[in-house]
Amino acid sequence: MKSLLFFSILLLSFPLTALAFQTETYGWEATDTVLGIYGNGIASIEDTSPVYNGAQSLKFEESPLGGTPQAYVSWIQNLNDGDTVAASFWVYDDTPGSTYPSGRIWGHWNDDPSDPTVYDGTASGNEDFSPGAGWSLLEWEWTVADGHTGLMVEGRIYSSTEYDTIWFDDLTIIAPDGATILFPDYVVSLERNSWGAIKASF
């Protein structure tokens, strides 16, 4: 009995460091679209169709045609080497196979917590395009290295015709507890996560 009690205490005293992750989601149910855009992308709220979940999604179209427009959908800050960040979102693409438009999940480093336009190099991502049978899930996991502290998650559109359009919904981010996860409504997230640190950086 004594040894059982000791064993129970031993189990309870192990910190759950391996599980110290936070999960946050964003579904474009309010008015905020993106944290920023690179290239010829136009972001707006879709309130009719297609919507994956809830009443709204993010509509992302390309105009004029050129380059690979990127919608900045989440910014994860306060990262350290060895941290892992996982992101996923649903993409609506109804042109099957390799026919454009197609979506992709990608990322780049931004280590300046006060400026969402800073680019500190590619973080790569999932090489797969959305398959084009309607809604599909794209996901990727990054491991932080080389002293980077901020990761910007991109929703990309690959397009062949002006006004090609894809839609995003139900974004999920899983990051270490110590990180700050920012969504397009980031002022609210900042207040919730680390208002003091944010006030210091703006």
Min dist. Cβ of residue 196 to Ca ion (A)? 31
Query: 12: helix, coil or strand?
Result: helix
128: closest CA among 94, 84, 158, 163? 158
Min dist. Cβ of residue 186 to Ca ion (A)? 18
Choose between 54 and 147: whose C-beta lies nearer to Ca ion.
Answer: 54
Choose between 43 and 179: whose C-beta lies nearer to Ca ion.
Answer: 43
State the DSSP H helix or E strand holding residue 10, giving kind and residue range, or none if neither.
helix 2-13
Choose between 39 and 54: whose C-beta lies nearer to Ca ion.
Answer: 54
130: DSSP letter: P
Question: At 37, phi and psi to the nearest 5?
Answer: -135, 140
Query: 4: helix, coil or strand?
Result: helix
Task: Give the binding site for Ca ion (CB under 5 A).
Answer: 27-28, 53-54, 169
Choose between 13 and 49: whose C-beta lies nearer to Ca ion.
Answer: 49
Min dist. Cβ of residue 52 to Ca ion (A)? 6
Q: If phi over 0 gives left and psi between -120 and 50 gives alpha, with beta otherwise, what is residue 131?
A: alpha
Min dist. Cβ of residue 71 to Ca ion (A)? 15
